Amino acid sequence: MMSSLMVAGLAAAAPLIALGTERWPGLAPCALCLWQRWPYWVAATLAVAAAFLPERLRPWLLRAAGVAVLVSGAIAVLHVGVEQGWWPSPLPACQAPSIAPGASGSQRWLSTLDSLDSLDFAVLVPGHGPVLHDHAGIAQTRDYLRWLRDGLQGAARRGLDMPEVLQLPVPERFRQLAVLNTEYERSVTHLYPAYELDTLPTIPRSKPK
């Protein structure tokens, strides 16, 4: 019985911690974050049932609880892939725009931010991070994208390769941004080749003699 209750406590701990970070730091969960919580609640319920139902059912209920935890782990893998840009989110509510490959990607982002900034909203719920009640988050993202655009253009003119660009210092005002390192690496990987093509001279292909 005690082992089943321990399993129930551990299974419930993950969504309870997530709820705590949502309420006190004010981190807004995306749709996939919410999906990840449900299998943990199912696992906790099954484990509690295993503690009080006949002992012959206990192994099966605990195995089912383990399967529920694995389902949450599978959703977590899907979630990481969405955040890394490896595949799109299956949930419309979690399909945040990303910087598309090519030098025009950042400009499309800036145009989208201008459109958002023109709206008179009371609450802004980003894909991740705290809920905002003003336009400060839009201004911060615009500032980052402009710095990124100008920095990549300057690096291409200097002839830097991609590993050198990834080692460039990030301004202090951006170092507290969530997932900065991952987002910067992804942005450079997607955008920098296009800036190189736009900046560096093209060597004409020689004709065979």
Listed by start position, the domains of the chain span: 2-84, 97-199
Per-residue pLDDT of the chain in tens (209 residues, 90 and over written 9): 677 888 888 889 988 888 887 777 656 677 778 888 999 999 999 999 988 888 888 889 889 999 999 999 999 898 888 777 677 777 655 544 445 445 556 777 788 888 888 888 888 776 655 677 888 888 888 898 899 989 999 999 998 998 999 899 888 888 776 556 777 887 888 888 888 888 776 656 666 65
> According to the model, what pLDDT value does residue 207 have?
61
Phi, psi of 64 (to 5 degrees): -65, -35
Max intra-chain CA distance, the chain: 87
pTM of the model: 0.51
Rounded Cα distance between 105 and 84, Å, is: 16
Q: Answer for the pair 35, 78: CB distance below 8 angstroms, yes or no.
A: no
Q: Cβ atoms within 10 A of the Cβ of 46, count?
A: 23
- 3-class DSSP state for residue 120? coil
- Contact, 76 vs 35, CB < 8 A? no
Tokens 């782990």 appear where?
A: 73
Q: How much is the pLDDT for 135?
A: 86
- Location of structure tokens 């911690």: 17
Output the pLDDT for position 154: 92
Q: Which pLDDT score, from 0 to 100, does residue 96 have?
A: 45
